[in-house]
Amino acid sequence: MFSIYRRWAGVGLLGFILGGQIGHAQEAPPASPDAADANSELMTESQLRAALSFFESLRQTLLAGRTNGAAVLPSPTTRDDRGRTINDDWRDYCFSETDQADITRQLAAVSTALDAHDLDTARAQWQVLYHRLEVLGIQCKAIVDYWQELVLHPQNWMPYLTMLHDNGVEPHYAANIASLEKTLKIQVRHGLFVDAIGGSWTQIQGIRARAMERDVEDLKAKALNADFKGLYSVTAETPCQPVAAHSSGKSSPSMDYDRPQPKLTYPDESRRNREYGAVTVALIVAPSGCPRKGFVLRSSGFERLDRLAVNYAMSLPLLPAEKDGAAVEALTLVPVNFTLKSP
């Protein structure tokens, strides 16, 4: 689990969380010097002292952020189902008194070895210090992700599950997901945020993605039925302009690249709330190439993104399906992905 989450590791990341985002700190820590490389084994005394100065500055930033951890996210008084706030988790699991004591002791050990010109011991102690801060960075980031994604802005799967039920489709891997969600809650209850976010939460996302792929296949077989209940359904009020000049020549509709393509705009509020995910929109395309109806078959878990995906897909210029040389009405699936590039 630790290695899965390791991409978020590093002293630089910890400085970003506690220095760059927390306004209560006096100032952000300086950029890590080139000497602060955990793989270096031949650092000079001056390089070690530079690294030591950097870590001391970072320690002070951690201390400043210890009582102001909620500044990382809004709603500092929000409580989760454990009855805790982000400040509670920040205080107990991000930079606890044990963490403080260990880092202070390790800083002193490096400094003492340098004053004695014992570079071998100083390098060894510096490696211990670097690793301690790296692990701490992973833990603090996991806490932030838990509060950001699972408490303040959680995905809502009830509309999607209701749609499955209404159309007689049994959700795939539901028992697996429920078991992992139970495990995740136990891990969070015991402060094991790295295991919860880097392990259980990552597995849940992977299993849910595979489940929805199979759900879509079941739904697609029913989507043209008159009584099908699509999620966030939109029906075109007027024909598209202009209509397609010809059919696709295939059994399913396809994009008409001779006409202008609409632009998909990521909502600012969704970006701020770190809402993301993959949506699959089903379009019923008329013989004119105009989408007659659109609805979600695979949800992102965020209604705002799902509805935007349907409206975007409904505006696409399409070539209608063809059968026996004539344009016909047919179903096509449009994938719409919302991906956050920021950390």
Give percent of the chain with pLDDT exceeding 70.
Answer: 83
Helix (H) or strand (E) holding 333: strand 330-338
What is the tens place of the pLDDT at every residue in 271-281? 988 899 999 99
37, 50 contact by CB (below 8 A): no
CATH of domain 231-338: 3.30.2420.10
Residue 303 has pLDDT above 50, yes or no: yes
Going by the DSSP 8-state scheme, the letter that residue 243 receives in this structure is: P
Mean pLDDT, rounded, of the chain: 85
pLDDT at 211 over 80: yes
pLDDT for the residue 266: 93
What pLDDT, on a 0 to 100 scale, did the predictor assign at position 30? 43
Q: How does pLDDT run across 216-246, given as a tens digit for each residue?
A: 999 999 999 999 999 999 999 888 888 888 9
Other beta carbons within 10 Å of 180: 21
Contacts with 312 (C-beta within 8 Å, 6 or more apart), sequence order: 262, 264, 281, 336
Overall average pLDDT of the 277-299 stretch: 96
- How many other C-beta atoms are found inside a 10 Å radius of the C-beta of residue 210? 12
Is it the case that residue 179 has pLDDT exceeding 50? yes
Specify the pLDDT at position 136: 84
- Whether the pTM exceeds 0.85: the reply is no
Instruction: Say whether pLDDT at 307 is over 60.
Output: yes
Domain map of the chain by residue range?
4-152, 169-220, 231-338
pLDDT tens-place string over residues 111-142: 999 999 999 999 898 888 888 888 888 888 89
Please name the residues in contact with 152: beta carbons below 8 A apart, sequence gap of 6 or more. 73, 74, 75, 78, 273
Over 90: is that where the pLDDT of 32 sits? no
Is residue 57 pLDDT above 90, yes or no? no
b/e map 56-79, b = 16+ CB within 10 Å: bbbbebbebbbebbbbbbeeeeee
State the Cα–Cα distance between residues 238 and 254, nearest whole angstrom: 20
Q: What is the pLDDT of residue 269?
A: 93
pLDDT band of 64, cuts 50, 70, 90: low
Q: What are the pLDDT digits (tens) for 1-31?
A: 444 444 444 444 454 444 444 333 333 444 4
Quote the CA–CA distance of 18 and 58 in Å, as a whole number.
9
